[in-house]
Structure 1
Amino acid sequence: MLRTTNLLRSVTKQGTLVRAFSSAPSSEGLSFALSDEQKSIQDLARKFAKEEIIPVAAEHDRTGAYPTEVIKKAWELGLVNTHIESKYGGNELGVLDSALITEELAFGCTGIQTAIEANNLAEAPLVVAGSDAQKQKYLGRMTESPLMASYAVTEPGSGSDVAGLRTTAVKKGDDWVINGQKMWITNSGHANWFFVLARTDMDASTGKAFSGFIVDADTPGIQLGRKEINMGQRASDTRGVTFEDVVVSNDNLLGGPGQGFKIAMNAFDVTRPLIGAAAVGLARRAMEEATQIGIESARMMVYRSAWLRDNNIQNTWHASIAKSLASDVANKSAADAVQIFGGNGFNTEYPVEKLMRDAKIFQIYEGTSQIQRLIISRGLANMAKSGASALGGL
């Protein structure tokens, strides 16, 4: 298959970024110095945000129009679908590499950045659990054309409480029939396919009750709701999605029956550091719009959680800290920026009011701040029981 050629290739070797971080933890500690390749990627994303995102961010926020042309340009540069393996046409970037891109795009506009990042979230379950055939079919098409995908897990009555999901998938012959309603699904109005989490065993425990499916968006029975008019990140397309007797081939089952919850949660280990990176980008923008506000600790936790994942070290605890801390920093930074601007900060003529509206969602999506604190507290309790040090992590 003919794959897309993009400028990001020019700062990679053999299609894979050469990282400044070693493949294993160093006995001398972790270095936060970026390699020349990483600096080039960071500069590319920063230039793109300055030239292509910032000039149109206010208009997309005002109209809520989906940033199709901006996303297409980002795709052409290789700034979209960053985790896809090179064998499927991707740049196979690590979580930290992607965090560098995400922070810069979010500096420009977190609504546009969220639309782009939603692809990584939808693709993450396939990256961690998809078969070669599934990756070739669905990840391959993402690198051939500037397509979008959606991660359909949240429902009207259950967000962070995955155990409360009511969407079901029933096996009928060689197919599965999905029924249920999802809500707040990013990119759903423009998605080529969905990752859908559905209950396949009514009696099993949460960890074994759900299965993950890849569902083509043009499958009969899928109904899209209206675009939600949200407080912030209005460039992002968020809708409800109803699945009514949607027939999906068993070939589109990810992993196996009962593995969906684990797959969905493993995807968060990849994407939560990136949500933190986006929050850092917004905080940085607020800082530059107003005055010097400290965000370095949030960035360092984002980098650490991303580095752990790239080195195959369990990062769930650190990812939750990165997401929670960076989200709080972004909200405080944006609120402080509005305060510093005074009455002007409350006015739409100045960009900081948009930053404040955009910032709030970071404390809500991909696991609320309250859920992250539960994960963090459990990790601390486990360390206390085992005698481990918080400095060493989990």
Structure 2
Amino acid sequence: MPIDFHLGTAEAGTRAAAASFAEKVLKPARTVYVEHSTQCERFQATKPAYEAAVVGGLIKAQLAPKLGGNGGSLIDAAILVEECYAVEPSAALTVFATGLGLTPFNLLQKPETKEFLEPFLSGTGSPLASLVFSEPGGVANWLEKGGKGLNTTARKEGDEWILNGEKIWATNSAGWDNKGADLACVVCRNVTDLPSGSQEAEPKDRIMILLVTRADLDRNGPEAFQVVRQVETMGHTSVSGPHIKYTNVRVPSKNMLCAPGEGAAIVSGAFDGSAVLVGAMGVGLMRAAFDAALAFAKVDDRGGAMPLLERQAVADLLSDIKMQTEACRALTWKAAHAMENGPGDYNARRELALAAKVYCSDAAVKAVTDAIKAVGVTAYDKNQPFADLLTNAMVLPIFDGGNVGIRRRHMQQLMMLPSYDAWAATYGPSK
């Protein structure tokens, strides 16, 4: 089969539907939420847009068909993310964060867990899911021997698990009303048979994932779940990722999604998939920055005799943005295809996902900055899109696993493996 970079009929349909949703639902949502003064109020103001996403099948599309969903390929997801991010990143992220919260189910595909997914398959309401992982103080070195590890713990008592600990940055984790998400995949450390204050020699052997539903929190009472602080962010200003606290939350044994020793691999797998989608987020922002700067440069002359686009310095900046956008899209699509189809073993395919996250997120920040340089001081006007583009782009290198502290270290670890095969994800195994 020849190499084909054209969208197929299905992919083109996904792109058209995503573009329509972004323009008709997400874009108007921004005009509503920007009128509010706090992060929490802005988040709550996006609920109608989220409900439209549910009705439109965007939530069900983030679950695998084997679980009752109608999810497509990772390339489909990348196309969807790019189209939404090119128009309205903040309201879109709440939708995609539910997808991240459901990813552990997609990776495991356990039939017995389907009961937890019913709200996300119904096509009604506004159910939120969250992958609750990050903690105050950071988690870059959470599996390092001798380190502090996760402070969120679970202890088995009879037929229940008792959950305690604090989390932060977990999008959607507080739900619409700050009383908890409909479904939280809480990454925690089993301390059932550990003396108080001690650590396991191999931290990953203790990592598990507990499911905490809104019904569980309601049953445990108001003291069980607390929003410690609403985090006000520079960009993505309608997204909720607060500092939360679980206190003696009791959940049934059946809520153990991943047993101790199995959780770390699922967390890693979830963030491998999301790495590709962060690449697509970067592409969407770069595309929006280029389009806005190009439109400005075509008509504005800054008091001169010709439009800015005819000035070589401006044209050079814009052509660099355009080339970087095309390159990042190609890398993102390549990574998405390789993750699901190969060639190469999982580590080879994973390296491309990491590369898409690191390269495209860094490139997005530079692209928006270059667009600002091309436009000049007018870009500093909040009526222009560039301030929002920059503050939204700035988080891409530091969330979903920071490029410096986590993602590049993962690439380093892969390169240090004796079995490392640098080009296997493109050409197949070398031996």
TM-score normalised per structure 2: 0.79
Q: Which moved more, 1:341-350 or 1:241-250?
A: 341-350
Matched residue SS, 1:177: strand
- Aligned counterpart, 2:6: 33
Alignment check: 8 A CA contact 1:167 1:199 kept:
yes
1:105-125 CA-to-partner distances (Å, cap 9, x unmatched) read 111121112111101111011
Alignment check: 8 A CA contact 1:154 1:185 kept:
yes
- Aligned counterpart, 2:73: 94
User: Whole-Å Cα distance in 2 between the matches of residues 262 and 387 of structure 1?
Assistant: 21
Q: 1:388 to 1:358 in 2, by over 3 A?
A: closer
Q: Does 1:277 align with 2:299?
A: no
Q: Does 1:357 align with 2:391?
A: yes
User: Whole-Å Cα distance in 1 between the matches of residues 394 and 420 of structure 2?
Assistant: 36
How far has the Cα of 1:99 moved from its partner? 0.8
User: Whole-Å Cα distance in 2 between the matches of residues 89 and 151 of structure 1?
Assistant: 20
Larger Rg over CA atoms: 2
Matched residue SS, 2:183: strand
Matched residue SS, 1:38: helix
One-letter identity of the residue aligned with 2:408: R
- Aligned counterpart, 1:318: 352
Matched residue SS, 1:150: strand
One-letter identity of the residue aligned with 1:297: A
- Aligned counterpart, 1:217: 214
Alignment check: 8 A CA contact 1:82 1:93 kept:
yes
User: Whole-Å Cα distance in 2 between the matches of residues 379 and 296 of structure 1?
Assistant: 27
Superposition pairs of residues 167-178 of structure 1, within 5 angstroms: 167-178=152-163
User: Whole-Å Cα distance in 2 between the matches of residues 381 and 170 of structure 1?
Assistant: 36
Superposition pairs of residues 238-277 of structure 1, within 5 angstroms: 238-277=241-280
Matched residue SS, 2:383: coil
1:258-297 CA-to-partner distances (Å, cap 9, x unmatched) read 2111111111122111111111111111111113422111
User: Whole-Å Cα distance in 1 between the matches of residues 420 and 396 of structure 2?
Assistant: 32
How far has the Cα of 1:150 moved from its partner? 1.0
Q: 1:225 to 1:109 in 2, by over 3 A?
A: farther
User: Whole-Å Cα distance in 1 between the matches of residues 31 and 377 of structure 2?
Assistant: 19
Q: Which moved more, 1:371-380 or 1:89-98?
A: 371-380
One-letter identity of the residue aligned with 2:153: T
- Aligned counterpart, 1:5: none
Alignment check: 8 A CA contact 2:67 2:109 kept:
no
One-letter identity of the residue aligned with 1:52: V
- Aligned counterpart, 1:340: 374
| Counterpart pick for 1:166 among 133, 143, 151 | 151
Matched residue SS, 1:140: helix
Superposition pairs of residues 1-394 of structure 1, within 5 angstroms: 28=2, 30-57=3-30, 59-61=32-34, 63=36, 64=39, 65-66=42-43, 67-134=46-113, 136-144=114-122, 145=124, 146-163=126-143, 164-190=149-175, 191-201=181-191, 202-218=199-215, 219=217, 220=220, 221-291=224-294, 292=318, 293=321, 294=323, 295-311=325-341, 314=346, 315-370=349-404, 371-382=406-417, 388-389=422-423, 392=427
TM-align CA RMSD: 2.1
Q: 1:263 to 1:388 in 2, by over 3 A?
A: closer
User: Whole-Å Cα distance in 2 between the matches of residues 387 and 118 of structure 1?
Assistant: 32
Matched residue SS, 1:171: strand
Structure 1: give runs of 5+ residues left out of the alignment.
1-25
Q: Which moved more, 1:70-79 or 1:228-237?
A: 70-79
User: Whole-Å Cα distance in 2 between the matches of residues 223 and 393 of structure 1?
Assistant: 49
Q: 1:393 to 1:169 in 2, by over 3 A?
A: farther
Structure 2: give runs of 5+ residues left out of the alignment.
144-148, 176-180, 192-198, 295-317
One-letter identity of the residue aligned with 1:361: V
1:34-89 CA-to-partner distances (Å, cap 9, x unmatched) read 21111011011011112222234255345341211111112222223433123544
Q: 1:206 to 1:106 in 2, by over 3 A?
A: same
Q: In percent, how many aligned pairs have the same letter?
A: 26
Alignment check: 8 A CA contact 1:298 1:322 kept:
yes
User: Whole-Å Cα distance in 1 between the matches of residues 256 and 428 of structure 2?
Assistant: 34
One-letter identity of the residue aligned with 1:78: G
Q: Which moved more, 1:351-360 or 1:291-300?
A: 291-300
Q: 1:392 to 1:379 in 2, by over 3 A?
A: farther
Matched residue SS, 1:238: coil
One-letter identity of the residue aligned with 1:184: W
User: Whole-Å Cα distance in 2 between the matches of residues 342 and 290 of structure 1?
Assistant: 10
User: Whole-Å Cα distance in 2 between the matches of residues 303 and 104 of structure 1?
Assistant: 14
User: Whole-Å Cα distance in 1 between the matches of residues 407 and 13 of structure 2?
Assistant: 33
How far has the Cα of 1:149 moved from its partner? 0.9
User: Whole-Å Cα distance in 1 between the matches of residues 257 and 207 of structure 2?
Assistant: 11
Alignment check: 8 A CA contact 1:189 1:227 kept:
no
How far has the Cα of 1:152 moved from its partner? 0.6
TM-score normalised per structure 1: 0.87
